[in-house]
Amino acid sequence: MSDKEPILEFTGERFTPECVREIAYEHWHRYAWALPWVQGLDVLDVACGEGYGSHLISQHAASVVGIDLDPTTINHATEKYSQDNLSFQVGDVLDLPLEDGRFDVIVCFETIEHVADHARLMMEFQRVLKPDGKLLLSSPDKASYSDQTGYDNPFHVKELYREELDDLLATHFKAHRMWAQKLLFASTIAPLPNGTDGDSHSTVQWMIKDGERIHQSAHPTLASQYYLAVASVSGRGLDEANTTSVFTDKEESVYQHYIEEIQHHIHSAEQLAEKDRTIERLTYQLDEVTTQRPWWRRLFGSQSKK
C-alpha cells in the first residue's frame, strides 16, 4: 500500500472504506465472511470498486484480480493497494477480459443489482471459473430493501426477490446455499474459552422477543436485508456451509454512535428543561411587576386629595 493513502470520492454508487458505521458493517462483513472460502486460491473480485475488499482477500488467497468498469477507480485501487499477488484491471462484468477456467472463486458483492442481463452475467462467471469453482454472491432482497421501505435506489437496475435469486442460481449452478444478512441491535451471550479444554464448539440460538413471548429458533425469523450465496459449478464443497457469521469492529462504532446520540438527546433535553425553567421564572417576575401599584403610588402613598 502506498504512503499517500489516496481517497476515492464517495458518490453513493461505490462504498469506500472512509464510510463508517452501518454501511461499513454491511460491506466489510461480506468480505470477512468470504475469507474461509478463498484460502490459498485464485480469486476474481468482480466490480471491485475502491479495492479494499480485494486487498483484504489477497491477505488470504494465492492471487486476486480486481476488475471494475471505471478506469478512475481502477487507477485508484492500483495506486493504493500494490502487492505481488494483487492486481486490478478495467473490464465489463458482461464481457470479462479474462481467459476461460482461470479462477477458483469469484466474489461478486453489490453487483448483480446493477446489471440487467443476469443470465449473461452467470454465463460469464461459469466461463472463467475452474470446473470445481465457486461463486460468492450478494444481492439485496427486493421485498425488504425496496418494497417495504419505498426506497428507489437510483443506481440499481434489477433487484431480485429471494425466489428469483434461487431460480437464477439453480439454473446456472449444480448446487448453491444461501444466507441472510441484516444489521441488528442484539445482546450476545457467548461461551468463554475453557482454560484446560480450549475453545468449545458453539452453536447459535436466536431468541426474538415478540410482545410478551420469546421465539427460539436455529435461524433468524426477521426479514433479510441482503442475501449471500455460494454457488458451486460442480455441486461439491457446500456440505459444511452452515456457519452463522457475526461481525463487529473493535471500537463498536455503531453502538458507540447510538450511545453518543442518546447522550446528545439527553443533554439537549436538559438544556431545554433549563430554558423552560428560566422562562417560567422570568414570566413570574414580569407578572409580579405588572400587577403591582404604579411607581408614583408606591412613592407618595395612596391618600386621596382633600
pTM score, two decimals?
0.75
One domain, residues 144 and 169: yes
For residue 218, what is its C-alpha cell?
A: 436455529
One domain, residues 50 and 168: yes
Q: Return the minimum-mean-pLDDT range out of 19-33, 36-50, 64-78, 232-246.
A: 19-33
**Number of domains the chain is built from:** 2
One domain, residues 284 and 220: no
Digit-coded pLDDT (tens) for 195-229 = 655 566 677 888 888 888 888 888 877 888 899 99
Distances (CA, A) of 142 to 98, 114, 159, 204: 31, 13, 6, 27
Work out the burial of residue 198: count CB atoms within 10 Å of its CB; fewer than 13 is exposed, 13-18 middle, 19 or more buried.
Answer: exposed
Query: What's the mean pLDDT in 278-297?
Result: 73
One domain, residues 273 and 180: no
Q: Return the minimum-mean-pLDDT range out of 87-91, 220-224, 259-263, 278-282.
A: 259-263
For residue 101, what is its C-alpha cell?
A: 477456467
CA-wise closest residue to 66 among 98, 27, 113 = 98
One domain, residues 181 and 255: no
One domain, residues 263 and 221: no
Residue 262's domain comprises 249-293
User: What pLDDT does residue 198 have?
Assistant: 58
Digit-coded pLDDT (tens) for 125-156 = 999 999 999 999 999 999 998 998 898 888 99
Digit-coded pLDDT (tens) for 83-124 = 999 999 999 999 999 999 999 999 999 999 999 999 999 999
Residues 140-144: contacts with CB within 8 Å, 24+ apart? 140/113, 140/225, 140/226, 140/227, 141/223, 141/224, 141/225, 141/226, 141/227, 143/223, 144/223, 144/224, 144/225
Beta bridge mates, 64: 43, 86
Greatest alpha-carbon span in the chain: 122
- Amino acid identity of residue 247, one-letter, is F
One domain, residues 237 and 274: no
User: What pLDDT does residue 306 have?
Assistant: 45
User: What pLDDT does residue 255 have?
Assistant: 65
- Residue that the C-alpha cell 480469486 belongs to: 43
Sheet containing 63-68, strands listed edge to edge, beginning at the edge strand earlier in sequence? 86-90, 63-68, 42-46, 103-108, 129-140, 226-232, 175-181
**Is 135 part of any domain?**
yes
Does residue 247 or residue 51 have the better pLDDT? 51
DSSP state of 147: I
